Each structure stands twice: as C-alpha cells, then as structure tokens.
Amino acid sequence: MDLPVLEDLRPVAGKRVLVRCDFNVPISNGVITDDLRIRLPIETLTWLLDEGAAKLTVCSHLGRPKGKPDPKYSIAPVRKHLEGLLRARGAHISQVELLENLRYNAGEEANDPDFVKSLVENQDLYVDDAFGAAHRAHASIVGPPKFLPSAAGRVLAREVEVLDGLLQKPERPFVAVLGGAKVSDKLGVIDALLEKVDTLLVGGGMCFTFLAAEGHNPGGSLLEHEFVENCKRLLASARASGKRIVLPTDIVALSPDGVFGTGKEPAGEWREMGQDLPDGWLGLDIGPGTAAAFADEISTAATVFWNGPMGVFEDPRFAAGTRTVAEAVASTKAFTVVGGGDSASALESFGLAGKVDHLSTGGGASLEFIEKGDLPGLVALREAASRRDS
C-alpha cells in the first residue's frame, strides 16, 4: 500500500507539525498500566524534532468522554509520561505540546469541519501515527489531510506494512485463531480470513454459535441465535473451498448457579465437558484437548494471526485455554501477528508480549483492515498525497 511516509514531508525544518497519536492507554487510579501506545510513537516524534521541526502539536483521544470535558478522561497522566519519555531521549520538550483529550469536543467524533479547522489552524504539516483510530472517520483522522501535506508516522506505516503483507503474501500454512465474545462482531473478518488462511481455529464465546450451527447444545453459553445460519453458511463455504474451520471438541463450563467475571466473588462448580453442555451450564473456556490441538496447529504453521481470547481469561478458572494458545503463539517459529485488544492484554498478563513478531496497537483497526483491506485514515493520507502530486 502506497502510503506517504515521514520522508515525503521533507523539508520539515522550521515547520509546525500536527501529530495525531493513539494514546488511548489503560489508566487505573491515575496510573498508566500499559504504556506501549505512548512508547511506540516516540520514534516518530524524535524524528520530526531531529529534522528541525519548530513545534509539534500532538493530539489523541482517551476513553469515551462523550463530547464534553470529564476529568476521568483527562490526558494529564499521559502528558506527564510522554514528557518523561521524550526527556529520556534528550528531546527539547518545550517544542512539544500535547492537546487535551480530543473527545472532550463533540466535533471530533462528528467530524465537524469547524473542529478540523481549529486543529489545522497555524499548522504546516500533519502526521498520522494513530493506527488504533485509523478505522474511525473522526475529525483529527480524516480532516487534516484535506488541508495539510500529510504522512503516516512510523507506527502507522509499520502496522499497515505487516497487515498488508499478511494478506497479500502469507507463508503457508496460514493459521488464524479467533476468539472473543461475539461472533456477530467478527462475521466480516471471518469471511475475509477464509479467503486468505488455510485453517481457522475458533474459540471464545463465539464458538458456541458455530457449535449450535453443527447441531450441538451450547447450554447457557453465549449464543447468538440470529447468527446460527451465518455460521452454517461459513462452515459450508469453508468446506467447499477446502479450508478448515476447527471448533472446540471440549469445553470448560461453569454450573448454572456459578458466578464469574472481574470484581465478583467467584462461585459455582466448573468442569470439562464435550461439545454438548447440559442446560444452563456456561461454556467459559476451551478444554485442554482443544487447547492442545490448537497449539499443535499453531506450532506447524508458517504464518499465524491471533485475535480474541479463547475464554474468560480474566477469571483464572477459565484462563488455561488462552494461556496455552498464547504460549503456542509465543514459541512457534511461524511469523506471528496478534491483533491488539484483549489478546494483547492476555499476552501481557502471561509475560509473553515481547515474544511475537508483531503486536498490533489496534484491535478494531486491525480487524477492519483485514476485513476491508483499507481504513478511512489511510484513504485520507493517500488522497492528500495524490493531491500533492497532481
């Protein structure tokens, strides 16, 4: 994909640059619990400063403050952390300003032209390094490229290069592992992946709609009745094209009176079962047989894409399946790409985050890129480049 990159903006010396980052980090009691999204774009910011940029106006969203100021979503902890990281790299932080949370203004999500104008006012260049927000047609993403010479920062460019490579020329066998809560969120991605992969391993809450499509009883598990037909169709189309969709053969389930989830006192009995669960029992993890089979598939693959936990991994009783898959992804010789969100937190919680080839900073964005092959933020940058060239 022909995205304009930082070098295309030269000369940068003396210019004022608006930089969109994705600093949407988890913050608990004012403490940033995972700073990856702040660390990665430092490379972009220091490149711009080293090139002699006069001023960097950095901006990001943080959480969902609903279009008005809300101290809960203040960018202040990010600002402090960013300044520390920049200082450690010897940067002059007086040249760097971080704007308050973009979503304090309703114009951001509404892509309001007046809000775009306020962002680009007095700026000379625009750099988009916010892969995690590139699937949103929001003001700070799609607006500035209409007015300023624009380019992708290092983080965005690398994400697109890896994902594009994965779709265009994957080494085979290509195995995708999908989990997470709902199948309805991922139908488009499954469709797109089935065209590219050799094998699709399905775990998480979404496996129960597939199991129901094969005539099994999911008990009280997460089941989306209205999507059973879609799953039937996907299973049939995979069969017709010689692809494999592999479903769990065993499940770890919690008794109907059980309690699970974060912040709750765990209760109930949990057991390993087959593909059919008794009424009311909740399937909350893939069983050990399935986890071992998935690990085997991963270990013999040449390319692996993983998105979504295999169970409710936040509850230690239902984390084993996700842990086995995470360990298999971390130790395989295959080229491994993990698509952000909960799979990234799972890897982090098992201490395996550094053991994959590419850990995407955008869960939703990586899935949408796989599904559609493009994102609004990337289209905006390419359009800006072609206007500049013509």
Q: Which is nearer to ligand AMP, 114 or 272 (CB)?
A: 272
- Out of 41, 132, 143, 205, the only residue in the binding site for ligand AMP (CB under 6 A) is 205
Q: Which is nearer to ligand AMP, 180 or 258 (CB)?
A: 180
| Contact flag: residue 308 with ligand AMP (CB under 6 A) | yes
| Contact flag: residue 250 with ligand AMP (CB under 6 A) | no
| Contact flag: residue 181 with ligand AMP (CB under 6 A) | yes
Residue with tokens 């998105």: 307
Q: How far apart are the first and last CA of the chain?
A: 19
Q: How far is the CB of 362 from ligand AMP (least distance, A)?
A: 13
Q: Which is nearer to ligand AMP, 200 or 381 (CB)?
A: 200
Give phi and psi for 244, each to the nearest 5: -115, 125
Quote the CA–CA distance of 131 and 160 in Å, as a whole number.
Answer: 8
**Residues shown for the chain:** 390
282-301 residues in contact with ligand AMP (CB under 6 A) are 283-284
Instruction: Out of 280, 364, 373, 382, pick the active-site residue.
Output: 364
236: three-class secondary structure by DSSP? helix
Q: How far is the CB of 177 from ligand AMP (least distance, A)?
A: 12
Report which DSSP code applies to 221. Answer: S
Do residues 62 and 23 lie in contact, with contact meaning Cβ atoms separated by under 8 Å?
A: yes
Q: How far is the CB of 260 from ligand AMP (least distance, A)?
A: 8
- E-assigned strand segments in 209-262: 244-246, 251-254
Residue 281: name the closest of 343, 226, 216 by CA. Answer: 216
Number of residues that bind ligand AMP (CB under 6 A): 17
| Contact flag: residue 311 with ligand AMP (CB under 6 A) | yes
| Contact flag: residue 5 with ligand AMP (CB under 6 A) | no
Which of the ranges 175-183, 212-220, 229-237, 263-271 carries the binding residues for ligand AMP, by CB under 6 A?
Answer: 175-183
Q: Which is nearer to ligand AMP, 322 or 336 (CB)?
A: 322
Do residues 178 and 304 lie in contact, with contact meaning Cβ atoms separated by under 8 Å?
A: no
Q: For this structure, is 364 an active site residue?
A: yes
| Contact flag: residue 342 with ligand AMP (CB under 6 A) | yes
| Contact flag: residue 341 with ligand AMP (CB under 6 A) | yes
Task: Walk across the sheet containing 251-254 and list its strands.
Answer: 270-273, 251-254, 282-286
Judge residue 334's burial from the number of C-beta atoms within 10 Å of its C-beta, 0-12 exposed, 13-18 middle, 19 or more buried: buried
Q: For this structure, is 37 an active site residue?
A: yes
Whole-number CA gyration radius for the chain: 22
Q: Residue 63 corresponds to which tokens in the numbers above?
A: 């959480």
Q: How many other C-beta atoms can be found within 10 angstroms of the C-beta atom of residue 42?
A: 18
Q: For this structure, is 341 an active site residue?
A: yes
| Contact flag: residue 377 with ligand AMP (CB under 6 A) | no
The gap from C-alpha 337 to its chain's centroid, in whole angstroms, comes to 11
Q: For this structure, is 340 an active site residue?
A: no
Which of the ranges 31-39, 48-56, 68-76, 306-314 carries the binding residues for ligand AMP, by CB under 6 A?
Answer: 306-314
Active-site residue set:
37, 182, 341, 364
User: Binding residues for ligand AMP, per CB under 6 A?
Assistant: 179-182, 185, 204-205, 222, 283-284, 308-309, 311-312, 314, 341-342
